C-alpha cells in the first residue's frame, strides 16, 4: 500500500495475469484520508493499450473509490515478461460539494501554493497458469492397466485368448436360444392340433350319445304302446 497525504492507493502496482487474446483487469482502491473532497486523475504512458474507468473522479471525505484498469487482449506474450508501461495517479483538494463534472485539466497543474500529489505505479505481468505436467512414461502411477498388461507377452496373449473365447461364446448363445425357441414353438403348435382333434372327437361322441338316447326313448315308447294294445285286446 502506498500512503500519501490525500489518498492512499492499494495495491501500489498494477498486476495483470496475461492470457492470449483475452482482456484482463485489475482494480485500484483509492481511500480519502482527509475531511475534504479530493479530485483524482489517472494517466498512463500507453493509453491505447489500457482502459481506465473512471479516469477522473471525486473521492468524498473518509470514503473510498474503486478504479478499474483493463488491458486489451494481447496477441503474443513478451519474451521476458517485463512491461515498461507506467501509470500516474494525481490527486488534489477540490471544493466542498464538487462533482466529477467540476473537474478540469487545470486543477492538476502544479502552481505556487497548490499541492498536487502524484503516485507513480508500474505494471507487473503475471504469467498464465501452467498446465499440469505430464506423468513420465516409466511411472507406475501414470501407467494404465492396459499398458501394464501388454508389457507381458504371455499375459497379453492369454488376455486375447480369453477375449476370443468370450466372443465365440457370445456368438454361440444366440443360436442355442433360437433352437430352444423353435422347439417350443413346434411343441406349442402340436399341442394346439391335439387339442383341436380331441374337441372334434368329443363333439362326435356327444352327437352319437344324443342319437342313441333318442332311439332308446323311441323303443321304450313303442314297447309301452304295444303293451297297452295287448292289454286292451286281452280284455276284449
pTM for this model (two decimals): 0.54
Q: Is the pLDDT of residue 145 over 60?
A: no
pLDDT at residue 235 tops 90: no
For 1-46, how does the pLDDT look when each residue is reduced to its tens digit (9 = 90+)?
Answer: 445 689 999 999 999 998 888 999 999 999 999 999 999 999 999 9
Q: What is the DSSP string of 171-225?
A: HHHHHHHHHHHHHHHHHHHHHHHHHHHHHHHHHHHHHHHHHHHHHHHHHHHHHHH
Distance of CA 167 to the CA centre of its chain: 35
What is d(CA 235, CA 205) in angstroms, rounded to the nearest whole number?
A: 45
Instruction: Give CA–CA dist 16/81, Å, rounded.
Output: 11
pLDDT at 173: 47
Position 113 scores a pLDDT of 86
Amino acid at each position: 500500500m502506498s500512503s500519501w497525504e490525500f489518498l492512499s492507493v492499494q495495491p501500489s502496482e498494477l498486476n495483470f495475469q496475461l492470457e492470449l487474446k483475452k482482456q484482463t483487469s485489475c482494480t485500484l482502491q483509492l481511500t480519502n484520508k482527509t475531511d475534504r473532497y479530493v479530485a483524482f486523475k489517472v494517466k498512463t504512458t500507453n493509453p491505447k493499450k489500457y482502459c481506465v474507468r473512471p479516469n477522473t473522479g471525486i473521492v468524498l471525505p473518509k470514503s473510498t473509490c474503486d478504479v478499474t484498469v483493463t488491458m486489451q487482449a494481447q496477441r503474443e506474450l513478451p519474451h521476458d515478461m517485463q512491461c515498461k508501461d507506467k501509470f500516474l495517479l494525481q490527486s488534489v483538494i477540490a471544493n466542498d460539494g464538487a462533482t466529477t463534472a467540476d473537474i478540469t485539466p487545470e486543477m492538476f497543474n502544479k502552481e505556487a501554493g497548490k499541492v498536487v500529489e502524484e503516485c507513480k505505479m508500474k505494471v507487473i505481468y503475471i504469467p498464465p497458469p501452467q498446465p499440469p505436467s505430464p506423468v513420465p512414461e516409466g511411472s507406475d502411477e501414470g501407467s494404465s492397466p492396459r499398458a501394464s498388461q501388454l508389457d507381458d507377452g504371455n499375459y497379453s496373449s492369454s488376455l486375447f485368448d480369453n477375449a476370443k473365447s468370450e466372443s465365440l461364446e457370445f456368438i454361440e448363445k444366440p443360436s442355442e436360444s433360437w433352437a430352444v425357441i423353435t422347439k417350443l414353438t413346434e411343441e406349442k403348435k402340436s399341442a394346439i392340433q391335439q387339442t383341436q382333434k380331441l374337441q372334434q372327437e368329443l363333439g362326435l361322441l356327444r352327437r352319437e350319445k344324443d342319437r342313441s338316447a333318442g332311439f332308446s326313448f323311441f323303443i321304450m315308447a313303442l314297447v309301452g304302446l304295444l303293451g297297452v294294445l295287448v292289454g286292451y285286446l286281452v280284455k276284449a
